[in-house]
Amino acid sequence: MEAGCGVRIREFGSRRYFYFWHYEQVEGRSVRRDEYVGPVRSSRAREETLHRVAAHFRRLEQDLARRRARIERIVSQA
């Protein structure tokens, strides 16, 4: 599990675009993915970018909580 994610702004000519990057598992390996979100000038793209970052961290929190609970069960049984 990789905890990293973020936002990158890429320029093509005079235009700037949001890209959301994150790690995901592919065949047991962490792979970085860049996803196009939209132009920097777009309020919809800004909102979508923030939504993706928040959703990614929410999934990480849930995954960590599951793992912690599993480890705590193992420890309590020892």
- Residues 65-74: tens digit of each pLDDT: 999 999 999 9
Residue 78: band (very low, low, confident or very high) from pLDDT cuts 50, 70, 90: confident
Average pLDDT of the chain to the nearest whole number: 92
Share of the chain above pLDDT 90, in %: 79
Give the tokens for residue 16: 């700037």
pTM of the predicted structure, to 2 decimals: 0.78
Q: Is the pLDDT of residue 3 over 90?
A: no
What is the pLDDT, as a whole number, of residue 25?
A: 85
Q: How many C-beta neighbours within 10 Å does residue 42 have? A: 14
Q: What stretch of H or E contains 57?
A: helix 43-77
